[in-house]
Amino acid sequence: MAIRTIRTMGDDVLRKTCKEVTEITKRELTLIKDMAETMYEADGVGLAAPQVGILKRIFVIDIRDENGLMVFINPEILETSGSQTDDEGCLSIPGKTCPIERPNYVKVRAFNEKGQQFILEAEELLARAVLHENDHLNGVLYVDHAK
């Protein structure tokens, strides 16, 4: 495992759309481990592959609850509802936060690192994290949602 360099705002890779993962190989598994280690080292709650310069539809989240580390490969947002506004930050925009309105509930379908499909229903912080990281896969940063 290795700590990877987190790309920061202004880096073109953060504005690109990521490609779907067609096969989970040793390379993807190494990437996932490195992303988790990088996220923990930076004291973040989520990290998407483009934030470490890789244009693949993968992100990791750990909001420090009973779920622990969660891996999302090829996530698809199925449903959202409600509303919440809270300060949001990003490892790619260090030292800054901004109040962002997002849905309070999200239903997402994805694959884990073992290639098993799952559906997750999340609220509040976990919903915010899923939506934030999913945005990265489409070249969107949280500041794009600022009013």
**Residue 133 bears catalytic tag:** yes
Strand, coil or helix: 92: coil
Q: Is 145 annotated as a binding residue?
A: no
Q: List beta partners, residue 106.
A: 80, 122
Q: Say which of 28, 88, 113, 133 is annotated catalytic.
A: 133
Q: Is 90 annotated as a binding residue?
A: yes
Do 48 and 136 form a contact (C-beta atoms < 8 A)? Answer: yes
Strand, coil or helix: 107: strand
Do 51 and 41 form a contact (C-beta atoms < 8 A)? Answer: no
Q: Is 18 annotated as a binding residue?
A: no
Query: Which pair of tokens denotes residue 47?
Result: 């990290």
Extract the annotated binding site for Fe cation: 90, 132, 136
User: Active-site residue numbers?
Assistant: 133
Extract the annotated binding site: 90, 132, 136
